[in-house]
């Protein structure tokens, strides 16, 4: 079973072997490539990020939330005792504070990682030309900053997946988000194992761009800043369509489907399901799953935009809480 699972025919294009990914010395310098075992660092990063999130939520966001009136202490309870209780499991409760805390955490992460991504990728060959993701494959040596960027991003999506089942507020698109997180983790894992890291970095930064505006808009909604929410929603809608409905399929996926075979294996036929290698078909299928989810969320956003023009009111939240949950603030 293991020999079939790691068969070069299953994973790698013709004339490419696992030995091609072995570390080597070139011109007196050690050159490394992605290794499968390193995916474990992504899982570890996910656990660390999840605990860091709970710590920040408990000992930074909760005191700030209390100071601005977002979090109300129980009678006789101190801020410190509330923070400790929250850290020890209070994070499971559903409250307005919890929703705001989740959103702030994601906004800070996406904003930071987007800036980091620009720094990491600005001098990489695929940044200006996506087709350079395939030239001279598989001999794309791993760069330290790309290694850290990919590992942290993998860890973040692991933390989102674990958090979805443990500490997050359940929302109406819970299962869609779970599918999204699983597909993203699989994409990151497959691209790492086959050294499709270059195109993987482009997929990541393409998605992070709109996520910043999404969570910023949610904060404005919680604060009831209608004008700021409307402006942010319009910016989100434009950015979302440009990055996820146009750039993602027409540039990135197209390069994978059309340009990659030309550069790597000219006789590769996507519909010949048994032709070597198999993994790129799985990889592309996962990208198409993400694209379907993008269309689903785009429909929701357009629906929200249409309703807001008909009612003449403000913009509603894109991801409402599940109807099965009480929308009242449940204090801890």
Q: Say if residues 127 and 88 touch (Cβ distance below 8 Å).
A: no
| Per-residue pLDDT at 327 | 44
CA separation for the pair 50, 157 (Å, rounded): 10
pLDDT digits (tens, 9 = 90+) for 288-303: 999 999 999 999 999 9
Per-residue pLDDT band for 1 (boundaries 50, 70, 90) equals low
| Residue 307: pLDDT band with limits 50, 70, 90 | confident
Mean pLDDT of the chain: 90
Position 73 pLDDT exceeds 80: no
H helix and E strand count, the chain:
14, 2
Among 84-93, 126-135, 260-269, the range scoring the smallest mean pLDDT is 84-93
What does the pLDDT average to over 130-147? Answer: 97
pLDDT of residue 2: 65
pLDDT of 47 strictly over 70: yes
Judge whether residue 74 has pLDDT over 60: yes
Secondary structure in 3-state letters for 156-202: HHHHHHHHHHHCCCCECCHHHHHHHHHHHHHHHHHHHHCCCHHHHHH
Residue 330: pLDDT over 70: no
Across 10-24, 95-109, 249-263, 315-329, least confident range? 315-329
How confident is the model at residue 15, as a pLDDT?
92
């Amino acid at each position: 079973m293991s020999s079939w699972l790691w068969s070069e025919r299953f994973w790698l294009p013709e004339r490419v072997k696992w030995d091609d990914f072995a570390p080597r010395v070139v011109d007196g310098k050690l050159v490394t490539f992605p290794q499968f075992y390193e995916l474990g660092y992504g899982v570890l990063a996910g656990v660390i990020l999840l605990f860091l999130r709970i710590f920040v939520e408990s000992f930074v966001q909760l005191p700030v939330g209390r100071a601005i009136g977002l979090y109300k202490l129980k009678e006789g309870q101190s801020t410190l005792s509330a923070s400790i209780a929250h850290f020890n499991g209070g994070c499971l409760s559903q409250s307005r504070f919890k929703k705001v805390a989740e959103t702030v955490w994601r906004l800070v992460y996406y904003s930071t990682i987007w800036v980091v991504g620009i720094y990491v990728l600005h001098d990489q060959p695929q940044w200006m030309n996506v087709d350079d993701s395939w030239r001279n494959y598989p001999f794309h040596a791993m760069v330290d900053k790309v290694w850290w960027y990919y590992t942290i991003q993998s860890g973040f999506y692991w933390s989102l997946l674990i958090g979805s089942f443990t500490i997050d507020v359940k929302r109406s698109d819970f299962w869609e988000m779970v599918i999204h997180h699983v597909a993203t983790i699989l994409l990151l894992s497959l691209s790492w194992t086959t050294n499709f890291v270059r195109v993987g970095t482009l997929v990541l930064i393409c998605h992070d761009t709109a996520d910043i505006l999404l969570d910023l808009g949610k904060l404005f909604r919680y604060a009831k800043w209608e004008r700021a929410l409307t402006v942010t929603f319009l910016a989100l809608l434009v950015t979302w369509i440009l990055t996820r409905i146009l750039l993602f399929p027409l540039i990135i996926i197209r390069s994978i489907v059309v340009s990659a075979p030309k550069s790597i294996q000219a006789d590769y036929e996507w519909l010949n399901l048994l032709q070597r290698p198999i993994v790129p078909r799985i990889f592309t299928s996962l990208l198409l799953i993400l694209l379907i989810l993008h269309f689903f969320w785009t429909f929701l956003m357009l629906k929200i935009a249409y309703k807001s023009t008909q009612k003449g009111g403000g913009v509603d939240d894109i991801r409402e809480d599940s109807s099965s949950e009480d929308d009242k603030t449940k204090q801890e």
